[in-house]
Amino acid sequence: MIRVIEPALAGWMRADVEVRCDGWAGKLKWSLMSGELARFAGEIRQLRRQLHGTATLEPLEPNIRLTFIGDGKGHVAVQGIAQNNFASGTELRFDLTIDQTYLEEIADSLSQADPA
């Protein structure tokens, strides 16, 4: 879950990020540029239409990185890395599979958080 909590400096936003996967959970604060989530939402919508291809979130401040990979049959592999403090080197890596029916809701949520 990514929740934008406030605009920061011009062109930047602050967000709380919570990652839960297979019994593991982590929270972090993240600064992101306006438009980064909206761009990712657009890639997810394209993946939803085509069912194959990749949607990638690789923000300037890479505390959270996500890749969605469609297999053309409606299955979507999600690969992610969440990192709170770059100096510590500690990160949470996760891989899971979702059905393509979740993609529209995910894209809508991202667009709502970052209407850019």
Q: Per residue of the chain (116 residues), give pLDDT as tens.
A: 667 766 666 789 888 898 888 888 888 888 999 999 999 999 999 999 999 999 999 999 999 999 999 999 999 999 999 998 878 888 889 999 999 999 999 999 999 988 86
CA distance 111 to 10: 19
Whether the full predicted model's pTM is greater than 0.75, yes or no, is: yes
Cα Dmax for the chain:
42
Return the SS3 of 55.
strand
Alpha-carbon torsion 37, 79, 109, 49, what sign?
A: positive
Domain count, the chain: 1
CATH code assigned at 8 = 3.30.2450
Q: Which domain holds residue 70?
A: 2-113
